[in-house]
Amino acid sequence: MIRFDNVGVRYGLGEEVLSDLCFDIKPGTFQYLTGASGSGKTSLLRLLFLSLQPTRGNISIFGKNAQALDRTELPAIRRRIGIVFQDFRLLDHMTLYENVALPLRVRGYEEASYRRDVIDLIKWVGLADRIDAFPQVLSGGEQQRAAVARAIIDQPELLLADEPTGNLDPALARRLLRLFIELNRSGTSVVIATHDLSLMEQHSARRLVLESGRMEVYD
Ligand SMILES: Nc1ncnc2c1ncn2[C@@H]1O[C@H](COP(=O)(O)OP(=O)(O)OP(=O)(O)O)[C@@H](O)[C@H]1O
Protein backbone atom coordinates (compact mmCIF):
# COMPACT_ATOMS: atom_id res chain seq x y z
CA MET A 1 0.00 0.00 0.00
CA ILE A 2 2.84 2.37 0.91
CA ARG A 3 6.51 1.93 0.19
CA PHE A 4 9.42 4.23 1.13
CA ASP A 5 12.76 3.72 -0.67
CA ASN A 6 15.79 5.64 0.61
CA VAL A 7 13.69 8.64 1.52
CA GLY A 8 15.38 11.72 2.95
CA VAL A 9 13.96 15.09 4.06
CA ARG A 10 15.62 18.36 4.88
CA TYR A 11 13.99 21.71 5.57
CA GLY A 12 15.68 24.48 3.60
CA LEU A 13 19.44 24.19 3.70
CA GLY A 14 19.53 22.43 7.08
CA GLU A 15 20.69 18.92 7.90
CA GLU A 16 18.45 16.02 6.90
CA VAL A 17 15.80 15.45 9.57
CA LEU A 18 14.90 12.07 8.06
CA SER A 19 17.46 9.88 6.26
CA ASP A 20 17.50 6.65 4.28
CA LEU A 21 13.98 5.60 5.23
CA CYS A 22 13.10 2.20 3.76
CA PHE A 23 9.90 0.60 4.99
CA ASP A 24 6.43 -0.34 3.91
CA ILE A 25 2.93 -0.19 5.32
CA LYS A 26 0.80 -3.10 4.26
CA PRO A 27 -2.99 -3.08 4.02
CA GLY A 28 -4.79 -3.86 7.26
CA THR A 29 -1.75 -3.44 9.53
CA PHE A 30 -1.37 -1.58 12.83
CA GLN A 31 1.83 0.24 13.77
CA TYR A 32 3.12 2.78 16.23
CA LEU A 33 5.50 5.50 15.11
CA THR A 34 7.67 6.49 17.99
CA GLY A 35 10.86 8.34 18.89
CA ALA A 36 12.01 11.29 20.98
CA SER A 37 10.59 14.76 20.54
CA GLY A 38 12.05 16.26 17.36
CA SER A 39 12.96 12.86 15.90
CA GLY A 40 10.77 13.49 12.84
CA LYS A 41 7.42 11.77 13.56
CA THR A 42 5.30 14.68 12.37
CA SER A 43 7.49 15.11 9.28
CA LEU A 44 6.99 11.44 8.46
CA LEU A 45 3.21 11.72 8.87
CA ARG A 46 3.29 14.74 6.55
CA LEU A 47 5.14 12.66 3.95
CA LEU A 48 2.45 9.97 4.27
CA PHE A 49 -0.32 12.56 3.87
CA LEU A 50 1.49 14.05 0.86
CA SER A 51 1.73 17.48 2.48
CA LEU A 52 5.55 17.32 2.43
CA GLN A 53 7.74 16.21 -0.47
CA PRO A 54 10.90 14.21 0.22
CA THR A 55 14.18 15.78 -0.82
CA ARG A 56 15.42 12.41 -2.04
CA GLY A 57 14.26 8.85 -2.54
CA ASN A 58 10.91 7.49 -3.63
CA ILE A 59 7.51 7.13 -2.02
CA SER A 60 4.84 4.97 -3.53
CA ILE A 61 1.34 5.35 -2.13
CA PHE A 62 -1.71 3.34 -3.23
CA GLY A 63 0.35 2.18 -6.20
CA LYS A 64 1.29 5.69 -7.36
CA ASN A 65 4.59 7.49 -7.25
CA ALA A 66 4.02 10.33 -4.76
CA GLN A 67 6.50 12.68 -6.45
CA ALA A 68 4.90 12.28 -9.86
CA LEU A 69 1.35 13.03 -8.71
CA ASP A 70 -0.55 15.78 -10.39
CA ARG A 71 -2.09 18.39 -8.03
CA THR A 72 -5.51 17.37 -9.28
CA GLU A 73 -4.91 13.78 -8.10
CA LEU A 74 -4.17 14.77 -4.50
CA PRO A 75 -7.75 15.23 -3.17
CA ALA A 76 -8.80 11.75 -4.32
CA ILE A 77 -5.78 10.17 -2.60
CA ARG A 78 -6.26 12.20 0.58
CA ARG A 79 -9.88 11.08 0.80
CA ARG A 80 -8.55 7.55 1.29
CA ILE A 81 -6.56 8.75 4.32
CA GLY A 82 -7.92 9.85 7.70
CA ILE A 83 -5.61 12.11 9.69
CA VAL A 84 -5.63 13.46 13.24
CA PHE A 85 -3.31 16.47 13.38
CA GLN A 86 -1.48 17.42 16.56
CA ASP A 87 -3.34 20.75 16.55
CA PHE A 88 -6.69 19.08 15.61
CA ARG A 89 -7.62 21.55 12.81
CA LEU A 90 -11.35 21.52 13.44
CA LEU A 91 -13.31 24.11 11.49
CA ASP A 92 -14.33 26.92 13.85
CA HIS A 93 -17.54 27.88 12.09
CA MET A 94 -18.95 24.36 12.25
CA THR A 95 -20.44 22.51 15.19
CA LEU A 96 -18.92 19.30 16.48
CA TYR A 97 -21.56 17.31 14.58
CA GLU A 98 -20.83 19.21 11.35
CA ASN A 99 -17.08 18.77 11.76
CA VAL A 100 -17.38 15.02 12.22
CA ALA A 101 -19.85 14.69 9.33
CA LEU A 102 -17.73 16.80 6.98
CA PRO A 103 -15.86 13.95 5.17
CA LEU A 104 -19.22 12.34 4.35
CA ARG A 105 -20.76 15.61 3.20
CA VAL A 106 -17.75 16.27 0.96
CA ARG A 107 -18.37 12.89 -0.67
CA GLY A 108 -21.87 14.05 -1.50
CA TYR A 109 -23.79 11.62 0.72
CA GLU A 110 -27.31 12.54 1.87
CA GLU A 111 -27.41 13.53 5.53
CA ALA A 112 -30.19 11.03 6.22
CA SER A 113 -27.82 8.20 5.24
CA TYR A 114 -25.13 9.08 7.79
CA ARG A 115 -26.77 11.08 10.60
CA ARG A 116 -27.17 8.03 12.88
CA ASP A 117 -23.56 6.87 12.34
CA VAL A 118 -22.19 10.33 13.12
CA ILE A 119 -24.24 10.57 16.32
CA ASP A 120 -23.23 7.05 17.40
CA LEU A 121 -19.54 7.77 16.87
CA ILE A 122 -19.79 11.07 18.75
CA LYS A 123 -21.41 9.14 21.62
CA TRP A 124 -18.67 6.52 21.48
CA VAL A 125 -15.96 9.15 21.92
CA GLY A 126 -17.93 10.53 24.89
CA LEU A 127 -19.05 13.83 23.39
CA ALA A 128 -22.83 13.32 23.13
CA ASP A 129 -23.52 16.35 25.31
CA ARG A 130 -21.24 18.56 23.17
CA ILE A 131 -22.69 17.61 19.79
CA ASP A 132 -23.89 21.12 18.90
CA ALA A 133 -20.93 22.95 20.43
CA PHE A 134 -18.42 24.91 18.36
CA PRO A 135 -14.71 23.97 18.64
CA GLN A 136 -13.74 27.18 20.52
CA VAL A 137 -15.73 26.10 23.58
CA LEU A 138 -14.34 22.55 23.65
CA SER A 139 -11.43 21.57 25.88
CA GLY A 140 -8.19 20.25 24.32
CA GLY A 141 -9.19 16.66 25.07
CA GLU A 142 -12.67 17.18 23.62
CA GLN A 143 -11.23 18.70 20.44
CA GLN A 144 -8.85 15.79 20.18
CA ARG A 145 -11.69 13.25 20.38
CA ALA A 146 -13.69 15.26 17.82
CA ALA A 147 -10.67 15.22 15.48
CA VAL A 148 -10.37 11.45 15.90
CA ALA A 149 -14.07 10.97 15.15
CA ARG A 150 -13.79 13.09 12.01
CA ALA A 151 -10.72 11.14 10.84
CA ILE A 152 -12.40 7.75 11.15
CA ILE A 153 -16.06 8.43 10.27
CA ASP A 154 -15.49 7.49 6.65
CA GLN A 155 -13.55 4.25 7.39
CA PRO A 156 -10.39 5.39 5.60
CA GLU A 157 -7.95 2.87 4.12
CA LEU A 158 -5.15 4.50 6.11
CA LEU A 159 -5.44 6.32 9.43
CA LEU A 160 -2.61 8.62 10.53
CA ALA A 161 -2.78 10.04 14.05
CA ASP A 162 -0.26 12.42 15.63
CA GLU A 163 -0.24 11.91 19.43
CA PRO A 164 -3.99 11.18 19.44
CA THR A 165 -4.10 10.50 23.18
CA GLY A 166 -1.82 13.35 24.23
CA ASN A 167 -4.55 15.37 25.98
CA LEU A 168 -6.57 12.51 27.42
CA ASP A 169 -6.80 10.79 30.77
CA PRO A 170 -5.86 7.07 30.78
CA ALA A 171 -9.48 5.82 30.60
CA LEU A 172 -10.27 7.91 27.52
CA ALA A 173 -6.94 7.00 25.94
CA ARG A 174 -7.84 3.31 26.34
CA ARG A 175 -11.24 3.94 24.78
CA LEU A 176 -9.70 5.62 21.75
CA LEU A 177 -7.16 2.84 21.41
CA ARG A 178 -10.07 0.34 21.28
CA LEU A 179 -11.63 2.42 18.55
CA PHE A 180 -8.39 2.32 16.53
CA ILE A 181 -8.13 -1.43 17.04
CA GLU A 182 -11.72 -1.95 15.85
CA LEU A 183 -11.09 0.25 12.83
CA ASN A 184 -7.99 -1.80 12.06
CA ARG A 185 -9.97 -5.05 12.37
CA SER A 186 -12.37 -3.75 9.78
CA GLY A 187 -9.48 -3.29 7.36
CA THR A 188 -7.92 0.16 7.92
CA SER A 189 -4.13 0.41 8.23
CA VAL A 190 -3.33 2.44 11.32
CA VAL A 191 -0.23 4.53 12.08
CA ILE A 192 -0.20 6.15 15.52
CA ALA A 193 2.61 8.55 16.36
CA THR A 194 3.04 8.47 20.11
CA HIS A 195 5.40 8.89 23.05
CA ASP A 196 2.96 7.06 25.28
CA LEU A 197 4.61 3.84 26.45
CA SER A 198 1.57 2.72 28.43
CA LEU A 199 -0.55 2.98 25.27
CA MET A 200 1.92 0.80 23.36
CA GLU A 201 1.97 -1.73 26.21
CA GLN A 202 -1.83 -2.12 26.10
CA HIS A 203 -1.84 -3.33 22.52
CA SER A 204 1.35 -4.76 21.13
CA ALA A 205 1.99 -3.95 17.49
CA ARG A 206 4.74 -3.22 15.03
CA ARG A 207 6.91 -0.25 16.02
CA LEU A 208 8.57 2.18 13.65
CA VAL A 209 11.18 3.87 15.82
CA LEU A 210 12.88 7.08 14.72
CA GLU A 211 16.23 8.02 16.15
CA SER A 212 18.51 10.72 14.78
CA GLY A 213 16.50 10.77 11.56
CA ARG A 214 16.80 7.04 10.89
CA MET A 215 14.24 4.31 11.36
CA GLU A 216 14.43 0.94 13.05
CA VAL A 217 11.44 -1.34 12.49
CA TYR A 218 10.41 -3.82 15.22
CA ASP A 219 7.86 -6.28 13.84
N1 LIG B 1 8.70 23.53 8.81
C2 LIG B 1 9.89 23.26 9.35
N3 LIG B 1 10.97 24.04 9.05
C4 LIG B 1 12.19 23.76 9.57
N5 LIG B 1 12.45 22.74 10.39
C6 LIG B 1 11.43 21.95 10.74
C7 LIG B 1 10.09 22.16 10.25
N8 LIG B 1 9.27 21.20 10.76
C9 LIG B 1 10.06 20.42 11.54
N10 LIG B 1 11.34 20.85 11.54
C11 LIG B 1 12.47 20.24 12.24
O12 LIG B 1 12.52 18.87 11.88
C13 LIG B 1 12.85 18.06 13.01
C14 LIG B 1 11.77 17.01 13.20
O15 LIG B 1 10.55 17.66 13.59
P16 LIG B 1 9.16 16.89 13.74
O17 LIG B 1 8.13 17.90 14.13
O18 LIG B 1 8.93 16.08 12.52
O19 LIG B 1 9.49 15.91 14.98
P20 LIG B 1 8.52 15.14 15.99
O21 LIG B 1 9.18 13.84 16.26
O22 LIG B 1 7.14 15.11 15.43
O23 LIG B 1 8.54 16.06 17.26
P24 LIG B 1 7.46 16.19 18.46
O25 LIG B 1 7.33 14.81 19.07
O26 LIG B 1 8.10 17.18 19.38
O27 LIG B 1 6.18 16.68 17.84
C28 LIG B 1 13.01 19.01 14.20
O29 LIG B 1 14.38 19.26 14.35
C30 LIG B 1 12.27 20.25 13.75
O31 LIG B 1 12.85 21.39 14.34
Q: What is the distance in A from the centroid of ligand 1 to the CA of 119?
A: 36
Q: pLDDT tens digits, residue range 153-201? A: 999 999 999 999 888 888 888 888 988 998 999 999 999 999 888 889 9
ipTM given for this complex: 0.96
Q: pLDDT tens digits, residue range 104-143? A: 999 999 999 999 999 999 999 999 999 999 999 999 889 9
Atom of ligand 1 nearest to the CA of 46: 18
DSSP, collapsed to helix, strand or coil, labels residue 16 as strand
Range of the domain at 65: 1-80+157-219
Asked whether residue 101 falls in the same domain as residue 15, the answer is no
The set of protein residues with a Cβ atom below 6 angstroms from ligand 1 is 11, 17, 35, 37-43
Asked whether residue 76 falls in the same domain as residue 101, the answer is no
Question: Does residue 85 sit within a domain?
Answer: no
Number of independent structural domains in the chain: 2
**Percentage helix, strand, coil, to 5, in the chain?**
40, 25, 35
What sign results for the dihedral spanned by CA atoms 21, 22, 28, 34? negative
Longest dimension (CA), the chain: 52
Q: What is the distance in A from the centroid of ligand 1 to the CA of 150?
A: 25
Asked whether residue 61 falls in the same domain as residue 167, the answer is yes
Asked whether residue 150 falls in the same domain as residue 202, the answer is no
Asked whether residue 107 falls in the same domain as residue 178, the answer is no
Asked whether residue 63 falls in the same domain as residue 95, the answer is no
167 backbone dihedrals φ, ψ, rounded to 5°: -110, 15
Question: Does residue 25 sit within a domain?
Answer: yes
Question: Does residue 2 sit within a domain?
Answer: yes
Question: Does residue 133 sit within a domain?
Answer: yes
Q: Whose CA is nearest to atom 24 of ligand 1?
A: 37
